[in-house]
Amino acid sequence: KHYLERIARLDPGLNSFITVAEESALAAAARADQALKAGDAGPLTGIPIAHKDIFCTQGVKTTCGSRMLENFVAPYDATVVEKLAAAGAVVLGKTNMDEFAMGSSNETSYYGAVKNPWNPDLVPGGSSGGSAAAVAARLCAAATGTDTGGSIRQPAALCGITGIKPTYGRCSRWGMIAFASSLDQAGVMARSAADAAFVLDEMAGFDRRDSTSADVPVPDYVDALDNDLKGLRIGLPKEYFGEGLDAGVARSIQAAIDEYRRLGAEIVEISLPNSPLSVPVYYVVAPAECSSNLARFDGVRYGHRCAEPKDLEDLYKRSRAEGFGPEVRRRIMIGTYVLSAGYYDAYYLKAQKIRQLIADDFKRAFEQVDVIMGPTAPATAFPLGAKMDDPVSMYLNDIYTIATNLAGLPGISVPVAPVDGLPVGLQIIGNYFEEARLLNVAHMLQ
């Protein structure tokens, strides 16, 4: 009730929720209360959370931030949703997001932009901007997010919270609406690494319904939180500290690294030579996969259908033109282009090869160091509207986050010293399935 009251009072100014599920939240809270009284509580019993509106929720609308799914109610729960419910969490509602998770500012949402809780003239980041703003404004204790190129870590950084993108395959993608299937990964956005550990413990794990989910045991993330950092080898990639990084953000990141040195860590300069290619590679691979994934929205089986179609072709064309916003249409066009005969080798195949080189850079780095650190985003939150007419400058906001998705590695963003009163995120990247270490390293700073 406390959280629902805060949402009713504060969210009109933030727009972080697309749907508030008041009735089902109160019913779940009553069940949690009974479970507590009966001494039958689960690990998250009664904890009020929110789901990014990309996760299918049975009986509650799932829009994916799009007009295409404005009235879509999924007939089933995503695995992640099911698992958190089984652990006792209470779902307050579904959070706003960039349309089909395409964006870095939450401004591509059909349901309107989300405001940054620290300053309503600024963006919260994206695409999980609703989840980030809701956690930062204390409208929920934690929230789910998804990260295809930075969409958990970048909004976490811009809103001053902790966000973890696990290893590709660590959490099930079943029931999570697909954007770029080889990059998409679900994760947690929370106030602290400790809170994120409690939630990730319940979310992670193999799911036979997702063929890319990893059949690797899930360690206890909470147990590892307080491990000593003496002797930890931290790699600083020189490519993450060069041109384009805001001077204030650089100072704040440096101060955090100094703190790790005091905690006994050893700092090593490393190089990820192919990382400058990660944005161009991503903008071939992700649109290619999205153009294929979004082909299912044709106005026939579900989603928006145009009025009075003349014939089948008219039905497809108008349903899609009306249902998708400009950024989604741009990605479908790029994706279709790079996959077409004659261009496939020049763009898609070449991008796949460079993707491997980017992953190899990390492999070499992890022979030398335990974790890699750098900024999550090049600057603090920018003004609403500032980058909407310039897609390339918007895309460059993910310059430090995208390479980890291309390699499938886990990453976390942790709040460090603010710059001019605005949050800054330190990014920590780990080797495959090293989420426990990332949460531990993040926790020691908090």
Q: Which residues are catalytic?
A: 52, 127, 151
Distance CA 52, CA 62 (A): 9
What percent of the chain is helix, strand and coil (3-state, nearest 5)? Answer: 40, 15, 45
Q: Which is nearer to ligand GLN, 376 or 440 (CB)?
A: 376
Q: Is residue 398 close enough to count as binding ligand GLN by CB under 6 A? A: yes
Q: Which of 57, 116, 144, 148 binds ligand GLN (CB under 6 A)?
A: 148
Q: Which of 147, 202, 207, 434 binds ligand GLN (CB under 6 A)?
A: 147
CB of 146 to ligand GLN, least distance (A): 6
CA 377 vs CA 212, 240, 267, 412: distances in Å = 28, 10, 21, 12
Q: Which is nearer to ligand GLN, 101 or 272 (CB)?
A: 101
CB of 105 to ligand GLN, least distance (A): 8
Distance CA 113, CA 96 (A): 8
Q: Is residue 127 close enough to count as binding ligand GLN by CB under 6 A? A: yes
Q: Is residue 149 close enough to count as binding ligand GLN by CB under 6 A? A: yes
Q: For 157-284, where are the E strands, in sequence order?
A: 162-165, 186-190, 233-237, 266-270
**Using CA of residue 175, residue 436, residue 411, residue 356, what is the dihedral sign?**
negative
Q: Which of 79, 95, 104, 293 binds ligand GLN (CB under 6 A)?
A: 104
**Which range in 31-39, 60-68, 102-110, 241-249 contacts ligand GLN by CB under 6 A?**
102-110
Q: What are phi and psi of 427, to 5 degrees?
A: -95, 135
Q: Is residue 151 close enough to count as binding ligand GLN by CB under 6 A? A: yes
Size of the site for ligand GLN (CB under 6 A): 13
* Token pair recorded at residue 374: 């750098």
Question: 346: which residues sit within 8 A by CB, 6+ positions away?
Answer: none
CB 187 within 8 A of CB 200: yes
Q: Which is nearer to ligand GLN, 213 or 401 (CB)?
A: 401
Where b means 16+ CB within 10 Å and e means fewer, 25-35 reads beebbeebeee
Q: Which is nearer to ligand GLN, 148 or 167 (CB)?
A: 148
Q: Is residue 102 close enough to count as binding ligand GLN by CB under 6 A? A: yes
CB 127 within 8 A of CB 53: no
**Which range in 65-73, 80-88, 148-156, 308-316 contacts ligand GLN by CB under 6 A?**
148-156
Q: Which is nearer to ligand GLN, 107 or 239 (CB)?
A: 107
Contacts with ligand GLN in 298-317 (CB under 6 A)?
none
Q: Is residue 144 close enough to count as binding ligand GLN by CB under 6 A? A: no
Q: Which is nearer to ligand GLN, 156 or 371 (CB)?
A: 156
**Which range in 142-150, 207-215, 255-263, 375-383 contacts ligand GLN by CB under 6 A?**
142-150
Question: 54: which residues sit within 8 A by CB, 6+ positions away?
Answer: 62, 64, 65, 97, 100, 101, 146, 176, 177
Q: Is residue 286 close enough to count as binding ligand GLN by CB under 6 A? A: yes
Q: Which is nearer to ligand GLN, 109 or 440 (CB)?
A: 109
Q: Is residue 103 close enough to count as binding ligand GLN by CB under 6 A? A: yes
Distance CA 204, CA 407 (A): 19
SS3 352: helix
CB of 374 to ligand GLN, least distance (A): 17
Q: Is residue 163 close enough to count as binding ligand GLN by CB under 6 A? A: no
CB of 368 to ligand GLN, least distance (A): 28
CB of 101 to ligand GLN, least distance (A): 4
Question: 43: which residues sit within 8 A by CB, 6+ positions away?
Answer: 87, 88, 198, 201, 202
CB of 108 to ligand GLN, least distance (A): 8
Q: Tell me which residue of 104, 165, 216 sits closest to 409, measured CA to CA.
A: 165
Q: Is residue 201 close enough to count as binding ligand GLN by CB under 6 A? A: no
Q: Which is nearer to ligand GLN, 3 or 347 (CB)?
A: 347
SS3 236: strand
Burial class (CB within 10 angstroms; exposed 0-12, middle 13-18, buried 19+) of 273: middle
Q: Is residue 150 close enough to count as binding ligand GLN by CB under 6 A? A: yes
> Could you list the residues that contact ligand GLN (CB under 6 A)?
101-104, 127, 147-151, 179, 286, 398
